[in-house]
Amino acid sequence: MHDYFTLKEIQEQPEVLKKVLSIEKEIKKILPLTDRERVAFIGCGSSYYLPMAVAYHVRRKMNIPAYALTGFGTLRYPNTRFEKNKDYFIIAISRSGESSETVSALESLKDKTHFKTASVTCEAGSTITKLSDTSLILEFVDEKSIVMTQSVTSMLLSLQIAMEDKGLEVIPELLEEVLDNASDSFDRLNLNEFEHFIYLGYDEYLGIANEGALKIREMALSNSETYETLEYRHGPKSLVAKGSLIFFLPSSESFKEEERLGKEMQQLGATTVNISPWSSDAFNLWIDTKLDVVDRSDMVLRLVPLQVAAFKRAIQRGINPDKPINLTKSVRL
């Protein structure tokens, strides 16, 4: 196979995440999430879907208000995003540190009384680091690809460390197994048979589902949709047909209901993929994510198979995932 940067960066993730874990103390010092009353994450594209998952996780684990906001939405409509006279810890997220809308949003909040700011990026000396009170810079993440993969999982794991998630040290080793499983499974599944890709999940997994759907749009130029799982019954399922591939990211609390939907979608002709640590005959394909947890601290293990699926779909279609159409590494306006 051609030496694709994108594939290399997907496969390197276990080693890169070990590096993230090695700077645990630095992360907690720079991003003191446990000391905050409310948190707002700002980003665009993957750097928006990542905090969508993390905001749910902050609310779940820390029981404080947390929000995921887009760069332009924050810049243009701050009054509908922030309560007056309330303190916020703002965390701007950008791989390059130069995404124009995120930069502008952060600049608009700088020096305001009720806002403390931080940034998470992979580029030292970037603009958002200059606008933030403090910055976490993951310089060892050096993606050549336009499409974000290991930068997303590295920033995600960093934020989980900041909120003091437990048991994260097992993720790199388990991820090696998950990568092998996902690669073999999607090689066996002819992704060219499908023309309709759906991603379903709740809370943290909804953010991960959005990121997975974005990957297949970017890498493989394929139409994709994302919904809260059982919402898919309420209208969207009208499009289900033999060419539909549905990725389920089920939760332990709602697994039975999600199984029922999986069976229903099979009856309508769809092929279903279960990305979780729990096997079930309600789905056509199972990608075992290896970590059986109820607190959703396995987000990285759920996301990476979706990256693999997007890459495999691109290759099977004869598309070079290193050169996605109409995209650049950073959106600068």
- Per-residue pLDDT tens over the stretch 96-129: 999 999 999 999 997 777 899 999 999 999 999 9
- Average pLDDT for 32-44: 91
So what's the pLDDT on residue 112? Answer: 79
Q: Is the pLDDT of residue 1 over 80?
A: no
Measured CA to CA in angstroms, residue 120 lies from 60, 96, 221 at distances of: 21, 10, 28
So what's the pLDDT on residue 328? Answer: 66
Confidence band for 33, pLDDT divided at 50, 70 and 90 = confident
Residues 6+ apart with CB under 8 A from 123: 95, 96, 97, 98, 129, 137, 139
Topology classification of domain 169-316: Rossmann fold (3.40.50)
The strand pairing partners of 271, in sequence order, are: 245
So what's the pLDDT on residue 46? Answer: 96
- CA 167 to CA 169: how far, in whole Å? 6
Q: What does the pLDDT look like over 228-274, one tens digit per residue?
A: 999 999 999 999 999 999 999 999 999 999 999 999 999 999 999 99
Q: What percent of the chain has pLDDT over 70?
A: 97
Q: Tell me the domain boundaries of the chain.
A: 5-165, 169-316
- CA 190 to CA 197: how far, in whole Å? 13
Matching residue, tokens 């394929």: 222
Q: What does the pLDDT look like over 70-95, one tens digit per residue?
A: 999 999 999 999 999 999 999 999 99
228 φ/ψ sector (left φ>0, alpha ψ -120 to 50, else beta): beta
Which of these, 275, 200, 281, lies nearest to 234 by C-alpha position? Answer: 200
So what's the pLDDT on residue 332? Answer: 66
Instruction: Please tell me what DSSP assigns to residue 321.
Output: T
So what's the pLDDT on residue 333? Answer: 61
Does 5-165 match 169-316 in CATH topology?
yes
So what's the pLDDT on residue 110? Answer: 79
- CA 24 to CA 35: how far, in whole Å? 17
CATH node for 5-165: 3.40.50.10490
Helices (H), the chain: 5-11, 13-22, 24-30, 46-62, 71-76, 100-109, 127-131, 150-162, 171-188, 204-220, 255-267, 299-316
Asked whether 106 and 92 are in contact (CB, 8 A), the reply is: yes
Query: Roughly what angle, to the nearest 10 degrees, separates helices 13-22 and 171-188?
Result: 160
Q: Is the pLDDT of residue 316 over 80?
A: yes
Q: Is the pLDDT of residue 279 over 80?
A: yes
- For the chain, the average pLDDT equals 94
Which of these, 118, 116, 129, lies nearest to 159 by C-alpha position? Answer: 118
So what's the pLDDT on residue 270? Answer: 97
So what's the pLDDT on residue 331? Answer: 57
So what's the pLDDT on residue 180? Answer: 97
